[in-house]
Chains A and B, each alone.
Chain A
Amino acid sequence: MTLELPVDLLFGLNLDLNLDLTKVMTANAIVLPVVLPLLAAFLMQPLAQVSRTLARLLGPLVLALGAWIILNAWLDVGPAPFSVAIGGFAAPLGIVFYADQLALLFALAVQVFTLLFWPGLGAAAKADAAADRQRAPRRDALALLLASAATGLALSGDLFNIFIFYELAAVASFGLVCADGSGRARIATLRYLFVSAFGSVLALVGIAILYLQTGTLNLAQLAQVAPETLQGPIGLAAFALLLIGFGVKAELFPLNAWVPEVYATAPARVSALLAGLVSKLAILVIVRLLILVFQQPEASQLLLVLGVLGVLTGEFSAWRAQDFPRLLAFSSIGQLGLVAIAFSIDGTTGILAGTAVALHHLIIKSALFGLANRWSGGLDALTGAAKGAPRAAGLFVLFALSLVGVPPLWGFWIKLLIMVGLVQGGSPLDLLALGAILLATAVEAHYLFRVALRLYQPPVQDQASRLAPPARWDTGVAYLLGACLVVISVAITPATEALRVLAQQTGDVLLYIDTVFPQPLAYKE
């Protein structure tokens, strides 16, 4: 397959033929943020034997490079979506990456957030520094694998390829959760592993059914043939299986029993990555399937019902939670239920609201888990923590206000958007969801403000000294994310407009198909 003509280079990149070559290379380089972390992860352990410092720096460097490549592709080739045929094999025979604004946004978020919550940063301050040095290369390798898998989930346009990256994210997160080696973390991981393996099997069955019905795994081709082949109960059954499978990482209602134990026992930064990032990418996969392949209303309704159950169970369990990481974990279940509800709303409004609430939760929950790095005890122990760590407490209040949806903040506008969308939908199910959101908001406000009040109570004797303030890096990251939140809240109109453009692009099925297949397939029957 040696190619002579430069025109042949354009084969996989389906843009206008008169685009210059550098743009093509910039676009084709979009595989690098997925591939380079893999390369770095493979070489991590040998490298650590040569130079420990180099091995420690390798991960952050690769992630920074990945962020730069994605940004470059976005600015140079975007804002129109483009697709890249990996190996030069045109879809549907080969695997394609589809990069629209949504995919690029989340791919970028993966690099940035993995960098901000890099598990290796500042971890050596522990007493068992020697054991930590032993584990560090392996842990860093797993973190890189997680970043690569999450980026792949955002970009891939092939269902089986998505499944591979989903599995990679799962296996890498098993290792990261029990990397610090407490017995409770291992038990939590074991349950997570069972649920996750169960979900993966079901997702695989769903994919097999899709392949049996349609004979293809390419999302664009699936979108083409779905109206004839996937209507009716078989298509719905396949969607239900895929929803259950990908719902494990997306913390959807019946599959989230692993969440509280894992987030309570895993290292806080890993919890931040799983709750903030990985859950969003799993939702993203479900949304792509919903938009492209399963357009029947029953599919959205299924997502809506699971979302409502998630919101109610999550928020009420959070209300009863006795320690800070568990409270965050249950609240994360509730918020992801809200994401599911938002995405089940018809049309651009739904995608806009869903993306907004997903980004909002990504920013806030990651930052909160970062703060929980040192606040991992019971809620009682937080009494008076504001005295020792006034900035961290202030940030907590800011995030709590936005989570609940207090007016000037971004969280308010998002909840408003969802409620308006539900009212416009107007079916009894929609109104039920509306009621559930209002109820859950009240519960959410109660437990979050209870914690905030506790932080500002006068400290009990001898407790203030026991509770160290969050590490400087984590507070800094929380500051940064808090600043993001404030900026978006102030510039709410342009931010929503930008998201609306993104949502319109995401919802355009024909655009997806035309981008992946610029000419009609030659051999199509």
Chain B
Amino acid sequence: MPMRNIASLVLTAGMAFLLLVIGADLALGYPDMRVGAEYLRIAGPELGAANIVTAILAGYRGFDTLGELSILFAAATAASLVLGHRRADARRDPPGGLVLSAGADLLFPLLLVVGIFIVVHGHLTPGGGFQGGVILAAAFFVALLANPARTLNHALLGWIEGLAGAAFILIGLWALVEDGHFLTPLLPLGTMGELVSAGTLPLLSVAIGLKVGAELAGLLAHLADTEAPDR
């Protein structure tokens, strides 16, 4: 038996044992609120964001969010390296017909508005840059699905993506120069609940939304652009 199989067997047995131990002893449903309670207490007054989740994601743990943006970027970059280029004479899927294209055209402005709304209101309502960005990407991808012959401008997407990512980091560096710490929220907090409030958090949210939107749109377009198998 090759080494690989033995290793898999050992691993599976160990995992089963671990699950048993965990299942028997864990106090599920009664989390220790050491840090969580403190966030709930001070996040509102300190950051001025009505949506505490965004206050944590873009404020207290903004650095993690930057890392997550980078992971998505790495995945999109790696995928575009692997997917490669389309032959000029490769077959394309046929257009989706009148109903699909009319539906896609109707959906496009709707998705765009919803996406932008969710991105811009990240510090007020549930959602934020990641969620809104995905909806923005979907707006462009629906059109692409209805009519596969359409293409997205990858160079433009690259620019949006690069500049939005750079904007996030530059806001952080601005804080480093201004305040001494990378990614400290700057600007006045304003009145909680208003669109212009919570300092730089909405700006970060917009940067995230644009980056995620452009990245996913590019990635999906790349996937759609891979050659259909010849039948």
Contacts and interface: CB of A to CB of B under 8 A. Distances in A.
B61 A95 contact: yes
Contacts of B74: 142, 145, 168, 171-172, 175
B60 A28 contact: no
B7 A257 contact: yes
Interface in B74-95: 74-75, 77-78, 80-82, 84
Nearest to B184: A88
Contacts of A43: 162-163, 165-166
B34 interface: yes
Nearest to B211: A42
Given A31-B176, A86-B63, A254 B34 contact: no
Interface in B15-47: 15, 18, 21-22, 25-28, 31-36, 38-39, 42, 46
B108 interface: no
Interface in A180-236: 181, 186, 202, 209, 211-218, 221, 225, 229, 232-234, 236
Query: How would you classify the secondary structure of chain B's contact residues: helix, strand, loop or mixed?
Result: helix
Contact of A1 (B8, B77, B163, B184): B184
Nearest to B11: A254
B7 A41 contact: no
A87 B31 contact: no
A160 interface: yes
A237 interface: yes
Interface stretch (B64-72, B135-143, B223-231): B64-72
A3 interface: yes
Contacts of A138: 77, 80-81
Interface residues of B, number: 68
B67 A168 contact: yes
A361 interface: no
Nearest to B161: A42
Interface string B184-208: 1110000000000001000000000
A28 B32 contact: no
Contacts of B180: 3, 9, 12, 24-25, 28, 88
A89 B64 contact: no
B209 interface: no
Contacts of B176: 28-29, 31
A489 B169 CA distance: 43
A164 interface: yes
A215 B33 contact: yes
Contacts of A213: 27, 32
A42 B73 contact: yes
A12 B179 CA distance: 11
B159 interface: yes
Contacts of A29: 176
B69 to A, nearest CB: 8
A191 B25 CA distance: 34
B190 to A, nearest CB: 13
A190 to B, nearest CB: 10
A38 interface: yes
B99 interface: no
B71 A35 contact: no
A466 B193 CA distance: 72
Contact of A93 (B60, B155, B162, B184): B60
A272 to B, nearest CB: 19
A213 B175 CA distance: 35
A263 to B, nearest CB: 16
A9 B28 CA distance: 40
A486 B75 CA distance: 40
A161 interface: yes
Contact of A95 (B3, B4, B63, B158): B63
Most buried by B among A38, A148, A209: A38
**Top 10 A-B pairs ranked by shortest CB distance?**
A175-B78, A215-B34, A215-B32, A42-B165, A164-B67, A88-B181, A171-B74, A46-B162, A9-B180, A88-B184
30 contacts: A1-B184, A1-B185, A2-B179, A28-B176, A29-B176, A38-B165, A39-B165, A42-B166, A87-B183, A87-B184, A87-B185, A89-B59, A93-B39, A135-B81, A142-B74, A145-B73, A160-B61, A161-B61, A161-B67, A165-B67, A172-B78, A213-B32, A215-B33, A233-B25, A254-B8, A254-B10, A254-B11, A255-B7, A257-B7, A317-B3
Interface of A: 1-3, 9, 12, 24-25, 28-29, 31, 35, 38-39, 41-47, 49, 84-89, 92-95, 135, 138-139, 141-142, 145, 148-149, 152, 160-161, 164-165, 167-168, 171-172, 174-175, 178-179, 181, 186, 202, 209, 211-218, 221, 225, 229, 232-234, 236-237, 240-241, 244, 253-257, 313, 317, 523
Given A92-B34, A202-B15, A254-B11, 6 more contacts: A28-B176, A39-B169, A45-B162, A178-B81, A233-B21, A234-B26
